Amino acid sequence: MSTILLVSIIGLTIFYFILYHSIFRVMYFGNVGTSIVGEFISCGFAACITLVFGAAAIKFIFGIVGGIIVFLLKAAVVLAIVGGICFVIYCVVNAIKSKANDNYEEMSDINTDQEEFASTNESHTQNDGEKNICTNCGVEYNESAAFCVNCGEKIN
């Protein structure tokens, strides 16, 4: 850690020194005669301040980012748990539903059988050639009818 700190201080000092010499001094101060040792010391001082502030800024940003990451991780865990519970409930409900559906289909199968049986019976009676004729008016009526469609006589 201290090696990294030392390397960054030296690197930053050299960077500031070059920056100062190549840009700032040329642009703003001209060719003023200052001692190189003094320049290095001030550049080193600036490097130290930069590192202190930089470290604080990085710590601050990492604190926020870390907080966001921790929050997201917590949210992900909560979502995963809630999603898992929902999935289990969905599976259970689906299983119950499909079982109920099977029962319903079995029942409707029986119903269809009964209907088929009834219709075959009906067609049998129709094929018998016996005609249902109203005793009151003599008009042919449907076997399932309760009253004559012509005169309204009740059919037994």
Q: Which residues form the interface with Zn ion (CB under 5 A)?
A: 134, 136-137, 148, 150-151, 153
Q: Which is nearer to Zn ion, 89 or 137 (CB)?
A: 137
Nearest-approach distance from CB 150 to Zn ion, in angstroms? 4
Nearest-approach distance from CB 99 to Zn ion, in angstroms? 52
Nearest-approach distance from CB 123 to Zn ion, in angstroms? 25
Nearest-approach distance from CB 143 to Zn ion, in angstroms? 14
What gap in Å lies between CA 131 and CA 142, rounded to an integer? Answer: 9
Q: Which is nearer to Zn ion, 112 or 136 (CB)?
A: 136
Nearest-approach distance from CB 96 to Zn ion, in angstroms? 54
Q: Which is nearer to Zn ion, 51 or 155 (CB)?
A: 155
What gap in Å lies between CA 40 and CA 21, rounded to an integer? Answer: 11
Q: What is the DSSP letter of 141?
A: -
- The one-letter code for the residue type at 145 is A
**Exposed / middle / buried, residue 48 (Cβ in 10 Å: 0-12, 13-18, 19+):** middle
Q: Which is nearer to Zn ion, 8 or 132 (CB)?
A: 132
Q: Which is nearer to Zn ion, 70 or 137 (CB)?
A: 137
Contact 141, 148 (CB under 8 A): yes
Alpha-carbon distances, residue 134 vs 61, 92, 129 (angstroms): 98, 59, 16
